[in-house]
Amino acid sequence: MQDLVISVRATCYQRERWITPDGRTILAPLPEWIAGHFGPELRRFVLMQYHQGPSTLPRLLALLRSVGVSISKRQLQRLLTDQQDDFVSEARDVLRAGLETSRFVSVDDTGARHAGKNGSCTQIGNDWFTWFATRFTKSRLNFLDLLRAGHGDYVLNDAAYGYMKNHTCPRHRS
């Protein structure tokens, strides 16, 4: 038999506090893996429900509150958007690996509204990977920047010079 139990487990950390001879207070640090008021399992559950569920923010908020999690809409929004650097770098690595190993990629973009502004959502991928980015501009330079996958350098090698020659690119004039 399989069963599922979803419950809240609140942990209160007691930390030592010292007062130095000069009157300063030193408070023992929390364990390194603690970030904010919500533990790693709750963060994982929120991300999974929102992105894989897919569950809307109001429904996810109602679910969490129904099992006893004390959380506001703003706190939930922050769990979904703040401190996501690991995911951003992982997504960039997926794009880089996909571009480096694929014989071809398909690209599509569509208009998207985000934070009350018009933007553009670009999809790059093939049968083996898919990557998305939303930007507030839709231009050739923006698209080329997305294809750079976070790299800031440019390579001018024989292949690049051959491409420029075959496509009659204008020469730089100083």
Do 105 and 124 meet the contact criterion of CB atoms below 8 Å apart? Answer: yes
Domain locations in the chain as residue ranges: 35-81, 97-166
Q: Give the per-residue pLDDT at 174.
A: 55
What's the start-to-end Cα distance of the chain, in Å?
77
Q: Is the pTM of this model over 0.75?
A: no
pLDDT tens digits in sequence order for the chain, 174 residues long: 888 888 898 888 899 999 999 999 999 998 887 877 888 888 889 988 988 888 899 999 999 999 999 999 999 998 888 877 777 778 888 888 988 898 988 888 888 777 788 888 888 889 998 888 888 888 877 787 888 787 777 778 898 888 888 888 877 665
Which residue's structure tokens are 């960039």?
A: 92
Q: Give the per-residue pLDDT at 68.
A: 92
- Residues 49 and 62: their CA atoms lie apart, in Å, by 12
